[in-house]
Amino acid sequence: MREKRKLFTKEIKSLDELFRIVERHSKRYSNVFYRGQANSEWLVTSSYARKSGSILENHEEIKHRAETITAEQKARSNYLISSFDIIDKFINELSIKNEIDYATYMGLAQHYELPTNLIDFSLSPEVALYFAFDYKEEPESGYVSLYITTPLFFEEVIVNDIQNRYAQFSDKKELDLLIRDMIELKKGTYSMTIPRIKIADYQINLRINAQKGCFVYYPEPLPYESIMYRLECWQPQRDWGSQYIIKIPTSLKKDVAQYLKSKNITRKTIYPTVNQDHIPDGSKCFDLALKSASEKVYQTLA
């Protein structure tokens, strides 16, 4: 996978060059997701994949590891069941009477540092840039990276395939239900999907709002780069350039910090606290409950 990602990796030398790529890409594609990595050598994986130690480089490695198809299916099933168990424990610890959907619970678990199969992205390239340079020690590679990706195109391909396969459905509602079942994040979801963040999520989860956050649910022990490679290959008429990994030299950190400050993107704005005036009534108690629940669950994982 490290070799394949070279197909859509580009090294830049200045912020102006970076901004030109971002602007051109945002005009060309809709629903662009961004992610910052504090080391250009890192692969993008879910926190659950990292915690479970199940990260594999590619599909061939999965096939090589499994002696039989049955063994492979069993391993994948156990991987998914364990990830759902973490969310179940989190929900039980919260004991919230008001109904919150599964995707919202998973988003809360993610932001309170429990391992999930969600991968964080942002709709803001500036926010992603902040996280790229938010390192304690400078990476040995001398580069951080900014990911630019269009995961909703993956979903569009799935939806189009369903519509073509089940074109005989006379009842449009039945087809819509089938599509929703394929792309909606719920307990038991076994394929990649993009959870829809609702207004209520922004009100409950302050960090999502501050970070212009969005997620990709990816329940595979594979790096997200494998999805980017497929997305790049699926583009119509070989329209290369839909996916980007931009390598940014750490020597630009001072320039980046000045730029982000001019955009009011700082640690304080990225990580809102419960003491700020704009936080809704009741959020402080809820924040404490979430922290307590996540800490109790995390202790069971140690």
Task: Give the CA angle between residues 7, 30, 243 to the nearest 5°.
Answer: 10
User: Do the strands 244-249 and 143-149 form a parallel or antiparallel pair, or are they unpaired?
Assistant: antiparallel
Please indicate, yes or no, if residue 149 is contained in any of the structural domains: yes
302 residues of the chain, pLDDT tens digit each: 667 788 889 999 999 999 999 999 888 888 899 999 999 999 999 999 888 776 555 555 544 444 444 555 556 667 888 899 999 999 888 876 566 788 888 988 888 889 999 999 999 999 999 999 999 899 999 999 999 999 888 777 777 776 676 666 556 676 666 666 666 788 888 888 888 777 666 666 777 888 998 999 998 888 999 888 888 876 655 556 789 999 999 999 999 999 999 999 999 999 876 544 444 555 556 777 778 888 889 888 86
Q: Which domain holds residue 198?
A: 4-296
Please indicate, yes or no, if residue 173 is contained in any of the structural domains: yes
Please indicate, yes or no, if residue 63 is contained in any of the structural domains: yes
Please indicate, yes or no, if residue 181 is contained in any of the structural domains: yes
Please indicate, yes or no, if residue 301 is contained in any of the structural domains: no
Instruction: Please report, for the chain, how many H helices and E strands are present, in that order.
Output: 14, 6
For 22-51, the DSSP string reads HHHHHHH-SS-EEEEESSTTPPP--HHHHH
Please indicate, yes or no, if residue 155 is contained in any of the structural domains: yes
When divided into structural domains, the chain yields a total of 1
Please indicate, yes or no, if residue 264 is contained in any of the structural domains: yes
Instruction: Give just the sign of the alpha carbon dihedral 234, 237, 241, 242.
Output: negative
